[in-house]
C-alpha cells in the first residue's frame, strides 16, 4: 500500500485539515449563533451526499446497540460535539479550548473499557490523573477550586469538556460500527444524514432565541463552506478511512497533531497566545496523553 494511503498518514492529514477550522470558525462565532452555523454546515454536506442515499441493505443485521451507537455518533459527536466546541470559543481563549480536547483519549479509553470490554492498566490511572491536573492548571492557573465559580470562563470549560465527552465517545462507537458493520464512507454519510436531522430539530426548538442571520451575511458563506467541506467532511472521511486500519491507541497519538497546529494558528493569526504557565501545563497534558496511548499499545 502506498505510504500516503496508510491509516496513520490519513489520520495525520485529517488532523492537519481539522486544525485549519479554527481560523474560520473563530471569525464566525461572534456573528452567527452556534446552532445556526452547525445546521448550515451539516446541510451543505448532506445536500452533496444525497445522491448516495441508500437505505436498502445498509441496515441489514443492525441491532439496537448498533442503532444507539449510530445515534450517538450522529447526534452526540457530530452535532453535540461541534456545538459545544463552537460555543466554548465564545467564553475563553480558543487555544485553551483546543488543548483541552486532548483529554479525549482518557474518555475514549474509559468508554472502551465499559462498552468494548478493553482493560485499563495502572499506568492509565496515573497519567490520567496527571493529565486532569494539567488541564485544570491550563484553564485556571493556580486559582483555588473555591475561586473557580467566580471566573468568567467557567462556561467555556463546561462546553469544552462536553465536546471532549461527545468526541471521545464518538470515536468508541464509530470504531464499533467500522469493526462490525460499515465501511468508512457509509459511516461518514449517515453521520451527516442523521446529524442534519438533529441539527434542524435543535434549530427549530431554539428559533425563538436564534433568528436566522445568514441571509444578511452572505459574505460569511465562503468560510462556512470551507469548514463544512474541507475541515469538516473531507477531514472526517480521512479519519474514518484511516481508522479502519489503525489501532485506536495509535490514533490517539496522531490526534495530538490537531491541538499543536491549531494552537499555532490561534497564536500567529488570531493573536491569542498562551501564558508561560499554560504552555507548561499544555505540554505536560500532551505528554501524559502520549504515555497513556503508548501504554495501551503494549497491551
* pLDDT 10s digits, 191-237: 999 999 999 999 988 766 556 777 778 899 999 999 999 999 999 99
**Is 227:40 a contact under the CB 8 Å cutoff?**
no
Provide, rounded to the nearest whole percent, the portion of the chain with pLDDT above 70. Answer: 83
Extract the residue ranges of the chain whose pLDDT is less than 70. Answer: 1-5, 116-121, 124, 136, 138-153, 181, 207-211, 247-250, 252-253, 289, 292-299
Q: What is the pLDDT of residue 5?
A: 59
Between CA 10 and CA 27 the distance in angstroms is 28
Which pTM was predicted? 0.80
Q: What is the pLDDT of residue 159?
A: 92
Q: What is the pLDDT of residues 236-263, one digit of tens each?
A: 999 888 888 776 666 766 777 777 777 7
Which residues, 6+ apart, have CB-to-CB distance to 169 below 8 Å?
Answer: 72, 76, 77, 107, 108, 111
* Helix (H) or strand (E) segment spanning residue 287: helix 276-297
Rounded to the nearest 10 degrees, what angle do helices 21-28 and 221-228 cross at? 140
Neighbouring C-alpha atoms within 13 Å toward the C-beta of 232: 28
Q: What is the pLDDT of residue 153?
A: 64
Q: What is the pLDDT of residue 162?
A: 94
Amino acid at each position: 500500500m502506498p505510504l500516503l494511503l496508510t491509516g496513520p498518514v490519513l489520520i495525520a492529514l485529517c488532523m492537519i485539515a481539522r486544525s485549519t477550522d479554527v481560523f474560520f470558525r473563530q471569525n464566525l462565532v461572534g456573528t452567527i449563533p452556534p446552532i445556526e452555523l452547525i445546521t448550515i454546515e451539516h446541510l451543505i454536506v448532506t445536500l452533496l451526499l444525497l445522491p448516495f442515499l441508500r437505505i436498502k441493505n445498509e441496515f441489514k443485521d443492525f441491532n439496537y446497540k448498533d442503532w444507539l451507537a449510530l445515534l450517538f455518533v450522529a447526534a452526540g459527536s457530530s452535532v453535540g460535539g461541534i456545538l459545544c466546541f463552537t460555543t466554548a470559543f465564545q467564553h475563553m481563549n480558543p487555544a485553551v479550548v483546543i488543548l483541552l480536547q486532548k483529554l479525549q483519549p482518557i474518555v475514549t479509553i474509559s468508554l472502551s473499557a465499559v462498552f468494548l470490554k478493553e482493560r485499563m492498566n495502572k499506568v492509565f490511572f496515573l497519567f490520567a490523573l496527571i493529565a486532569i491536573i494539567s488541564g485544570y492548571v491550563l484553564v485556571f492557573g493556580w486559582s483555588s477550586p473555591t475561586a473557580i465559580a467566580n471566573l468568567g470562563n467557567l462556561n467555556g470549560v463546561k462546553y469544552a469538556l462536553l465536546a471532549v465527552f461527545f468526541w471521545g465517545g464518538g470515536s468508541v462507537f464509530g470504531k464499533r460500527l467500522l469493526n462490525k458493520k460499515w465501511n468508512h464512507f457509509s459511516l461518514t454519510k449517515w453521520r451527516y444524514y442523521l446529524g442534519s436531522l438533529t441539527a434542524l430539530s435543535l434549530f427549530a426548538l431554539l428559533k425563538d432565541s436564534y433568528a436566522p442571520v445568514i441571509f444578511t451575511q452572505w459574505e460569511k458563506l465562503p468560510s462556512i463552506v470551507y469548514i463544512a467541506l474541507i475541515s469538516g467532511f473531507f477531514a472526517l472521511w480521512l479519519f474514518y478511512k484511516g481508522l479502519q486500519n489503525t489501532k485506536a491507541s495509535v490514533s490517539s497519538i496522531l490526534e495530538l497533531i490537531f491541538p499543536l497546529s491549531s494552537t499555532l494558528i490561534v497564536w500567529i493569526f488570531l493573536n491569542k497566545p498562551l501564558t508561560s504557565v499554560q504552555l507548561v501545563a499544555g505540554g505536560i497534558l500532551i505528554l501524559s496523553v502520549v504515555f497513556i496511548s503508548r501504554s495501551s499499545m503494549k497491551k
